[in-house]
Amino acid sequence: MLQDNLNEIENRIQAACQRAGRSRDEVTLIAVSKTKPVPDLQEVYAAGVRDFGENKVQELCGKIEELPQDIHWHMIGHLQRNKVKYIVDRVALIHSVDSFRLAEEINIQAKKKGIVVPILVEVNIADETTKFGVSREDAMELVRQIATLDGVQIKGLMTIAPYVVDSEENRAYFRKIKDLSVDIDNENIDNVTMDILSMGMTGDFEVAIEEGATMVRVGTGIFGKRNYQNT
Ligand SMILES: *Cc1c(COP(=O)(O)O)cnc(C)c1O
């Protein structure tokens, strides 16, 4: 059954790429498996997915233990500094860096392990008070500060667009963050690339792809509705 959901999402990704004149390889599908049990992840893994997203450190670490080693794990949720040490060397990418203090802690833990940790800077593109992320106005300055830390490497930007019924309402936000990533790229800051743009979820991933997303984070569309009582 999850295979059917996945097929549908895959078809829609391909169609969006085609509309935008983009190649399918430019977009990575991240299966957002938060709150979902390990057998569900195994089913999606068996269908070929190798990128999974989680938003809680404890749940992420538990699932890493139970699933195959060739999975790329993405930390997409708000990250507390005291938990950084548990994940720095176990995730492929941290999407949710929104302060210098958090980046500094990642840097400290990366150096202890002798690694460089790839990160994205999370931007609160619609200035929603309920969301984490640096404002668009402060993003450039934060990128410059974080770029001085050699245990982390900025690979791009991430955003969570507002919840909307009509995904077209988010098109302007996606365009704004794409513009911001181009502006940052044009500054040619050492230790910074803007190769990744992580945006688009179940409700709006097609519009996000049309506006330049290179990673889409799809949960409900693959795994079905989440039941938070079970977690
Ligand atoms: C839960 C979550 C998603 C997936 O949301 P769906 O609407 O279920 O696709 C994507 N990104 C982040 C940061 C999330 O927390």
Closest ligand 1 atom to Cα of 223: 8
Question: Would you say residue 114 lies in a domain?
Answer: yes
Question: Would you say residue 228 lies in a domain?
Answer: no
Least confident of 49-58, 194-203, 206-215, 220-229: 220-229
- Whether this prediction's pTM lies above 0.95 is answered by yes
| Residue 23 vs residues 16, 76, 188: alpha-carbon distances, Å | 10, 25, 26
pLDDT per position as a tens digit, 26-79 = 999 999 999 999 999 999 999 999 999 999 999 999 999 999 999 999 999 999
pLDDT per position as a tens digit, 76-104 = 999 999 999 999 999 999 999 999 999 99
What gap in Å lies between CA 154 and CA 62, rounded to an integer?
27
Ligand 1 within 6 A of CB of 202: yes
What gap in Å lies between CA 95 and CA 11, rounded to an integer?
25
Q: Are 153 and 116 in contact (CB under 8 A)?
A: yes
Tokens, residue 24: 């399918």
Which of 28, 51, 54, 55, when mutated, tests ligand 1's pocket best, judged by the most ligand atoms within 8 Å of its CB?
55
Going by the DSSP 8-state scheme, the letter that residue 169 receives in this structure is G
Beta strands 93-97; 72-75: pairing state:
parallel
Question: Would you say residue 107 lies in a domain?
Answer: yes
Span 172-192, mean pLDDT? Answer: 98
Q: Choose between 214 and 229: higher pLDDT.
A: 214
If one counts the domains in the chain, the total is 1
Question: Would you say residue 227 lies in a domain?
Answer: no
Task: Render 35-60 in DSSP notation, one character per residue.
Answer: T--HHHHHHHHHTT--EEEES-HHHH
Q: Look at ligand 1, atom 6, and give the residue with the nearest C-alpha.
A: 219
Which of 5, 49, 75, 76, when mutated, tests ligand 1's pocket best, judged by the most ligand atoms within 8 Å of its CB?
76
Which residues span the domain enclosing 131?
A: 2-222
What gap in Å lies between CA 156 and CA 197, rounded to an integer?
6
Question: Would you say residue 86 lies in a domain?
Answer: yes
Instruction: Check whether 229 has a pLDDT greater than 70.
Output: no
b or e along 132-147 (b: 16 or more beta carbons within 10 Å of the residue's beta carbon)? bbbebeebbebbeebb
Average pLDDT value over all residues in the chain: 97
Q: Look at ligand 1, atom 12, and give the residue with the nearest C-alpha.
A: 76
| Residue 152 vs residues 29, 86, 110, 119, 135: alpha-carbon distances, Å | 23, 16, 7, 7, 21
Question: Would you say residue 20 lies in a domain?
Answer: yes
Q: For residue 88, give the CATH number of its domain.
A: 3.20.20.10
Question: Would you say residue 230 lies in a domain?
Answer: no
- Tell me how far the alpha carbon of residue 193 is from its chain's centroid: 16
Confidence of residue 228 (pLDDT cuts 50, 70, 90): confident
Going by the DSSP 8-state scheme, the letter that residue 224 receives in this structure is -
Q: Look at ligand 1, atom 7, and give the residue with the nearest C-alpha.
A: 202
Cα of 226 vs centre of ligand 1, distance in Å, is 10
